[in-house]
Amino acid sequence: MNIEVSNAVKEIVKSIPFENKFWENILEAAIILPTYNESENIRDLILAIERLNINSLILVIDDSSPDGTQEIVRNLQKDFKNIILIVRPRKMGLGTAIIDGFKTILSLPDKPEYVITMDADFSHNPEDIPRLIQHAKEGYDIVVGSRYIKGGEIVGWTPTRIIISGIANKMARAILRLPINDLTSGFRCYSTKYVIKAAPKLKSKRFEIQIETLKLARNLRMKVTEAPIKFVNRKRGKSKLTIKEILNFIEFIIKSALQIS
């Protein structure tokens, strides 16, 4: 199932063959994978997720990758009925991909208990997904996979990059008054309760979605925690984090700080 983002979300869901529903019990998690030029990673990542012992739906949101990412996902759909592919007309940003994913999931006739977001480049280990879900089952609405708490780890970054990232997270935490050590981690487990409340309110187009979701959780008085993860710098493909993305992120933090003060 492939569809342009310009069509209504209900049209996306309408085209899913629910008469052949792939989950027999409660759908435990929907996993959102935003992609752009991830042909070197997406097949192995999806296969790794399929090997997990969880009842899941995999939602790939691709921004018209020219490298064959879509074709790889379509081939996997022939073997796995729990994969949905949404093709957007152009590169539209991480924030809009996550928001589109949230809205699509909320339109399903049977909603999952949890929603996972993660990178599609194997920086995030799929084997950590069950642990994030387990933390969420303790009553948390967002579980952030954290590189900066005890047990967390970063592999493949230079010491300088680790220091800069750590300082940036500490500064953002202090400025925004958010009780999380790894504000920029995209590996997360959200309760569907949170997604229902957040989806209509979220507006971020790019990387700043990671901050906006946490701010909104605080404003909604919802529970947030962290769980340690091992982050491995991508080995294949190119990073999507550009200077423009970084500047937009800094601008968002400054505007948010001014709103608080």
Q: What angle do CA 171, 173, 179 make, to 5 degrees?
A: 155
- Least Cα distance to 33 among 81, 105, 131 occurs for 105
pLDDT at residue 110, rounded to an integer: 86
pLDDT at residue 55, rounded to an integer: 93
For the domain made up of 9-260, give the CATH fold.
Answer: Spore Coat Polysaccharide Biosynthesis Protein SpsA; Chain A (3.90.550)
Place of tokens 């047990």: 151
* Tens digits of pLDDT across the chain (261 residues): 444 444 545 555 555 554 445 555 578 999 999 999 999 999 999 999 999 989 999 999 999 999 999 999 999 999 999 999 999 999 999 999 999 999 999 999 889 999 999 999 999 999 999 999 999 999 999 999 999 999 999 998 888 878 877 787 888 788 778 889 999 899 999 999 999 999 999 999 988 899 999 999 999 999 999 999 999 986 655 555 555 655 666 666 666 665 654
Continuous H helices in 78-206 = 94-106, 129-136, 159-176, 192-198
CB 117 within 8 A of CB 128: no
pLDDT at residue 71, rounded to an integer: 97
pLDDT at residue 253, rounded to an integer: 65
Helices 243-260, 209-219: inter-axial angle, 10-degree rounding = 20
